[in-house]
Amino acid sequence: MELEPFHRGIFLVDIERSARSEWTDPIRVRARERLNRLLDDALAEAAIDPRQTDRADTGDGVLLVTTEVPITRLLHPLLPVLTERLAADNKTIPAVERLRLRLVVHAGRVIKDAHGYSGAALTHASRLLDAQAGRAVLDAVPDAQVVLLASDYVYDTVIKHGFQDIDPANYQPVQVQHKETSTRAWVHLPGQATQPDLAGLAGTPPGLSVDPATPPEPPDRIDRHQGRKRRRLIALGGILLTTVIAGLAIWRLAQPPDPLTQPGRVITVYNKITNSATAMQEDNNPAYLSTVTQNACRRYGCALPGTEMSSDAKITAVCQIQGDRTTNGSDGSTDDDANPNLNTSRLWYGIRWSDDRFGYISEVWIQASDRGGLGLPGCPNP
């Protein structure tokens, strides 16, 4: 059977210091049971259907792979609800058994087989979870019970846009290095009245790397050659600046035109799905533009707001690119296999919206005469 990647949300939870010497194995069993119970209760309160998630035990944590849950709901309300329930539960048990958690939220393409999930996105999430950065934050903020590391992808596509009650100001960038992974993640401490300034924490343990403030320049040395040196540097800077400007001008002349600024082609929306071996019907869900070339963006927070369309709408395509496989038929049935309007494709169009915003739409949702790329140039990678 051919393996096919699907875009999924990833929610990873790990019990901090589960290997601590003061914990016995029975305590570890109770801790894992508590974590799963707290997660079950938090999912229920956040109105996330367990059937929309696949759960796997990681020994001292839990992996949730979500199928139809917007990433926004993992960040809010699931994250604060889980934190509140953990804080309340910790007050009812002996101090030695209290839990602190490290969490990661990521999204990307994963592959499922008989043994579970795999793929680069899952590996990336695991690297974020296992990195020293999360542990260092918990060490530096003793009263924090949960630390979240959101991936750079989740920050760019969800957090920074301020969906739901998510405040981008409550997320701070840190550098993460673990094994072969070197990347940026975004730290948030749910349950804290104010987010501590990670760059200003005194005695921050090794492993927490934040962008330091620019150090002040040392005072000028006073010597009789200082003025001469400054004049030489200014002259050299002028020469370098002239050279750079000339090089940029030549480079720009040699570049192909930006497809996003070109006139493009007006195409017609065909938002219809198969209804039998011969018939088509208008999809109950309108077509829309997305910020990435993937399906179900309304679920994952990557739909471009205000771009909903029905069949016969006119839009301007400026480029083409490969993305998620899309179909207007039913993969789980053979009833429509002979339908002449059945279409499956990985080609997407880049669309310039009427207000100059840019988004993507699969050619499946475009009328047949406007499919095939139309000779448009390639889109920039989303």
- What is the pLDDT at residue 179? 85
Instruction: Give the residue, 198 or 79, on which the prediction is more confident.
Output: 79
Contact 333, 296 (CB under 8 A): no
Q: Long-range contacts made by residues 197-202, C-beta under 8 angstroms, separation at least 24?
A: 197/172, 198/137, 198/140, 198/172, 198/174, 199/172, 201/140, 201/141
- Is the pLDDT at 291 greater than 70? The verdict is yes
pLDDT at 235 over 90: no
Model pLDDT, residue 263: 84
Residue written as token pair 């979240």: 148
pLDDT of residue 366: 97
Instruction: Using the predicted structure, report yes or no on whether residue 171 has a pLDDT greater than 70.
Output: yes
Q: Given the DSSP bridges, would you call strands 101-113 and 172-178 parallel, antiparallel or unpaired?
A: unpaired
CA distances from 344 to 97, 274, 371, 374 (A): 53, 12, 11, 17
Whether the pLDDT of residue 93 is over 90: the answer is: yes
Quick check: bond before 77 cis, omega within 30?
yes
Encode pLDDT of 95-107 as tens digits: 999 999 999 999 9
Tell me which CATH code domain 6-200 carries.
Answer: 3.30.70.1230
pLDDT band, residue 330 (cuts 50/70/90): confident
User: 0.95 exceeded by the pTM?
Assistant: no
Identify the DSSP state of 206.
T
User: Can you give the pLDDT at residue 213?
Assistant: 35
Decide if pLDDT at 296 tops 60.
yes
Q: Is residue 62 within a helix (H) or strand (E), and if so which, with residue range?
A: strand 61-66
Alpha carbon dihedral 237, 240, 245, 248, in 10-degree steps, equals -140
Segment 107-135 shows an average pLDDT of 93
For 1-22, what is the mean pLDDT?
89
Q: Is the pLDDT of residue 210 over 80?
A: no
* Boundaries of every domain in the chain: 6-200, 259-370
Cβ(294)–Cβ(302) below 8 Å: yes
First and final C-alpha spacing in the chain: 29
